[in-house]
Chain A
Amino acid sequence: MTTMQVDLVSSEEQIFSGEAEFLVVPGSEGEIGIYPHHIPLISKLSPGVVRVKLPQKEMHLVYAISGGYVEIQGNKVTVLADVVERTDDLDEAKLLEEKRIAEERLKRSNVSMDVDDVKAYAALELIIAQLKAVDYLHKQSRRS
């Protein structure tokens, strides 16, 4: 099977770089699945899960991102993510607790959003993305 070059970089460091068979990113207009030789595309990304299928591997690599951009040209895919969380060290119970705290905070200040609320909101979106990633990992391990 053909592969494509995938680079996943966050503003602070390079997270992943290598060949992949298939890639799923959370586009702002809907989830985008990318196979090799995709047409050139730039899309905004929403908070969500990035999945990478490596050649000759059953399991997908899973990352939670808080938004960013994906660029496809030639046979190269670049994911420019704002914040990336690796999923190998995610703790579901802790995330659920964080989610609850963030939601409560946002409930209290529903009308006028100040800077901290916006930050809390962004944090919440990332937490939700992480939870989705954990969820996906569970499903994946159950299948295999």
Chain B
Amino acid sequence: MAAGKEIRTKIKSVQNTQKITRAMQMVATSKMRKTQERMRQARPYAEKVREVMAHLAQVNSSARRSSPFLREPAEIKKVGIILITADKGLCGGLNTNAVKLFSEKLREYRNAGIAVEVSTLGQKGLVAAKRLKSEVVSSAVNLGDIPRMEKIIGPLTGVFKDFYEQKLDAIYVIYSEFINTMKQQAVFEQILPLSDRDLKLDTKMPWDYIYEPSAEEVLDELVRRYVESVIYQCLADNMASEQAARMIAMRSATDNAGEAIHQLSLAYNKSRQAAITKELSEIVSGAAAV
């Protein structure tokens, strides 16, 4: 009966694991809903800032030309990458995919002789960036489950300043885009300089504003806010992806545990049956011998 007892212990332990994964799955489900809500809530701000900024850039071309944020660099010597990942693991291939994309890009730039500075949001990205021996200039960890603007402004300020002072020629972001609950994808997007798509307006509005203090100052600050809100959106997306990925990962873990329990109980029943049969045949043959 020794084998039977071992299997029983094993079943017990798998059951415990299953309890944990099921709980994590449910937690991730409810958190995912919350982060998705956040994602939606932040949209009006980003859209409004974009509108105002695009309008200003269109009607006031002198401010547009003089803004360091809107210049088109002639040659790219150094770029900044903002790497957004989750703080925690246990969410399938989410972080791995983002880091893989990051290391590919890093290699690409290194081969092209372009220097890269990195700013990371999230624990996993920081660890990976350090492992890949990239130049990490700023980072934020322990971002929590709800994206907070104040957490990301600090690390971003340095990167923006470098771009503003023309130490960087472009800024990119890597994050996991939330496509749907089943699908998240690591993406690489350009943040600065702004593309024409960002500055485009559908309707022509020829009038100009009154500016306080000055048009240049207002435009620069607006671009900054716009970029911050874009990064915020990326972070919100990433968090929704994280929870979705964790939910899926934990669901399959729960299913696998169920499967394992089923197999183990079959094995346990079989071995018990075998033991009983063996004992019976022993008794029968013992009786026949007498």
Chain A residues packing against B (C-beta within 8 Å): 7, 9-14, 27-29, 39-44, 68-69, 71-73, 78, 80, 82-83, 115
User: Would you call B209 and A40 a contact (CB within 8 A)?
Assistant: yes
B187 near A: Cβ within 8 Å? no
Cα A129 to Cα B150 in complex, Å, equals: 18
The residue from B45, B49, B147, B213 contacting A29, defined by CB atoms under 8 A apart: B213
User: Would you call B154 and A80 a contact (CB within 8 A)?
Assistant: no
Q: Is the contact region of chain B dominated by helix, strand, or loop, or is it mixed? A: helix
Closest chain-A Cβ to B69's Cβ sits at a distance in Å of 15
Cα A138 to Cα B205 in complex, Å, equals: 43
Cα A44 to Cα B212 in complex, Å, equals: 6
Closest chain-B Cβ to A11's Cβ sits at a distance in Å of 5
B210 near A: Cβ within 8 Å? yes
In the complex, chain B residues whose CB is within 8 Å of the CB of A42: 52, 56, 209-212, 218
In the assembled complex, 19 residue pairs joining A and B whose CB atoms fall closer than 8 Å, in A order, are A9-B45, A10-B45, A11-B42, A11-B225, A12-B149, A14-B44, A27-B212, A40-B209, A42-B56, A42-B209, A43-B212, A44-B212, A44-B213, A69-B218, A69-B222, A71-B52, A73-B55, A80-B52, A80-B225
Q: Which 4 A-B pairs have the closest CB atoms?
A: A43-B212, A13-B41, A9-B45, A41-B210
User: Would you call A9 and B209 a contact (CB within 8 A)?
Assistant: no
Cα A83 to Cα B150 in complex, Å, equals: 9
Chain B residues packing against A (C-beta within 8 Å): 38, 41-42, 44-45, 48-49, 52, 55-56, 147-150, 154, 205, 207-213, 217-218, 221-222, 225, 228-229, 232
Cα A43 to Cα B229 in complex, Å, equals: 19
User: Would you call B45 and A11 a contact (CB within 8 A)?
Assistant: yes
User: Would you call B48 and A78 a contact (CB within 8 A)?
Assistant: yes
Cα A44 to Cα B209 in complex, Å, equals: 13
Closest chain-A Cβ to B55's Cβ sits at a distance in Å of 8
Cα A131 to Cα B229 in complex, Å, equals: 28
In the complex, chain A residues whose CB is within 8 Å of the CB of B232: 11-12
Cα A13 to Cα B38 in complex, Å, equals: 8
Nearest CB in chain A to that of B55: its residue: A73
User: Would you call A40 and B42 a contact (CB within 8 A)?
Assistant: no
Nearest CB in chain A to that of B229: its residue: A11
User: Would you call A115 and B45 a contact (CB within 8 A)?
Assistant: no
Cα A11 to Cα B43 in complex, Å, equals: 9
Nearest CB in chain B to that of A79: its residue: B48
The residue from A9, A69, A78 contacting B221, defined by CB atoms under 8 A apart: A69
- For the complex with contacts A9-B48, A41-B212, A43-B212, 10 further pairs of A-B residues with Cβ separation under 8 Å are A11-B149, A12-B148, A13-B42, A13-B44, A14-B41, A40-B208, A40-B210, A42-B218, A72-B209, A80-B49
In the complex, chain A residues whose CB is within 8 Å of the CB of B148: 12
User: Would you call B52 and A69 a contact (CB within 8 A)?
Assistant: yes
The residue from B45, B154, B221 contacting A44, defined by CB atoms under 8 A apart: B221
In the complex, chain A residues whose CB is within 8 Å of the CB of B48: 7, 9, 71, 78, 80
Known: A28-B213, A41-B212, A44-B218. A7 touches B44 (CB 8 A): yes
Cα A30 to Cα B221 in complex, Å, equals: 19
In the complex, chain B residues whose CB is within 8 Å of the CB of A69: 52, 218, 221-222, 225
In the complex, chain B residues whose CB is within 8 Å of the CB of A11: 42, 45, 149, 225, 228-229, 232
Cα A73 to Cα B211 in complex, Å, equals: 12
User: Would you call A12 and B42 a contact (CB within 8 A)?
Assistant: yes
Cα A43 to Cα B41 in complex, Å, equals: 24
User: Would you call B212 and A29 a contact (CB within 8 A)?
Assistant: yes
In the complex, chain B residues whose CB is within 8 Å of the CB of A80: 45, 48-49, 52, 225
In the complex, chain B residues whose CB is within 8 Å of the CB of A82: 149, 225
User: Would you call A9 and B44 a contact (CB within 8 A)?
Assistant: yes
Nearest CB in chain A to that of B210: its residue: A41
Which among A43, A69, A78 has the highest number of chain B CB atoms within 10 Å?
Answer: A69
Cα A123 to Cα B218 in complex, Å, equals: 23
Cα A25 to Cα B247 in complex, Å, equals: 44
